[in-house]
A = this chain, B = another copy of it.
Amino acid sequence: MKIGLDTLGGDFAPNSTILGAIEAQKMLAEDHRIVLIGDEADAKKRIQEAGIDPALFDYVHAPENIGMHEHPTKAITQKPNSSIAKGFDLLKDGHLDSFASAGNTGAMLVGSMFSVKTVPGVLRPAIATNVPKLKSGFGILLDVGANADCKPEMLNQFALLGSLYSQYVYGVENPKVGLLNIGEEEEKGNILTIATYPLLKANTKINFIGNAEGRDLFTDHADVYVCDGYTGNVVLKLAESFYVVTKKKGFEDDFFGRFDYERYGGSPILGINAPVLIGHGISTPEAIKNMVLFSRDMIQSKFIDRIKSAFN
């Protein structure tokens, strides 16, 4: 198993990415190799300085970085030696089993769609995030930013992608799918959600339980919450800010603790032909470590095969 990691992506890279990779490597089986994509000499130097044998890792030299604010499509095209472009090349050609980066989210999306490509039948990939449940465990929210504008058919597919993800990666049996909306009743909503409701209701591949409101997000109401990427992104960033406030104020609690992105490390792009994870820009070594371990879990779950058969 080859787990690809962009060592240049993220606000604290390459320090955070190398340190995270070192910690993750200690927890991996012998035949699981982390492939460090970035400045090879610099990575080896840092690993040696940490007292670790550089031979424990594989390397692909790709010294160019795509900045956080660069235009994704332009950057990917004009920087073929960037760590992100290189990572997707390797993933596409089967030299990697997964690819993860805490760098430019847009470039990760563009790379996913134009290099690894969407699973046949999938209209558009979606970014999923987990939302902690008050009692225990996690729900899934998608899309959180890949598609600012959505059509009903897209939300209907996100429902299935989220269901499969909840089932095969989080182990939730027959996950309940809720449509994020502004009322409980079927006829409530905006043009998009009103048109989406009957599609979800008729979708025999999911366990649709109806509308969910903003207040339901952290309850057991549903396991998968579906919405357009604009709404999901606003919700995600709002929820994160709440977590940050409770943390700053010293409110220690299991529920609030589960908001901590460091614990899971990355958000998957669902609907493409390989596991791809996007890390938070401010990823710490702990977050990178967990993103690598989560990459392994995604590969082992054979989740991509499940998606391929479901959309076949």
Stretch at the interface among A89-97, A153-161, A169-177, A240-248: A240-248
Given A213-B237, A214-B236, residue A230 in contact with residue B182 (CB < 8 A): yes
Contact indicator B148/A233 (Cβ below 8 Å): no
Contact indicator B190/A217 (Cβ below 8 Å): no
Which of these, B230, B239, B253, contacts A193 with CB under 8 Å? Answer: B230
- Asked if A149 lies at the interface with its beta carbon under 8 angstroms from chain B, I say yes
Q: What's the nearest-Cβ distance from chain B to residue A232, in Å?
A: 9
Contact indicator A235/B235 (Cβ below 8 Å): yes
Contact indicator B255/A235 (Cβ below 8 Å): no
Q: Which residue of B lies closest to A188 (CB)?
A: B148
Q: What's the nearest-Cβ distance from chain B to residue A124, in Å?
A: 14
Contact indicator A217/B241 (Cβ below 8 Å): yes
The CA of A234 and the CA of B225, in the complex, are separated in Å by 12
- Asked if A191 lies at the interface with its beta carbon under 8 angstroms from chain B, I say yes
From A185, A234, A249, residue with most partner B Cβ within 10 Å: A234
- Asked if A251 lies at the interface with its beta carbon under 8 angstroms from chain B, I say yes
- Asked if A9 lies at the interface with its beta carbon under 8 angstroms from chain B, I say no
- Asked if A301 lies at the interface with its beta carbon under 8 angstroms from chain B, I say no
Q: Which residues of B contact A193 (CB under 8 A)?
A: 230
Q: Which residue of B lies closest to A232 (CB)?
A: B182
- Asked if A231 lies at the interface with its beta carbon under 8 angstroms from chain B, I say yes
Given A182-B234, A230-B190, residue A255 in contact with residue B245 (CB < 8 A): yes
User: Can you list 10 A-B pairs, Cβ within 8 angstroms, ordered by A?
Assistant: A145-B182, A149-B190, A181-B234, A213-B233, A214-B241, A215-B241, A217-B241, A231-B234, A234-B234, A249-B253
Q: Known contacts A214-B241, A235-B235; can you find 11 more A-B pairs with CB under 8 A?
A: A134-B245, A145-B182, A148-B191, A149-B190, A180-B234, A181-B230, A214-B237, A214-B238, A214-B240, A227-B234, A246-B251
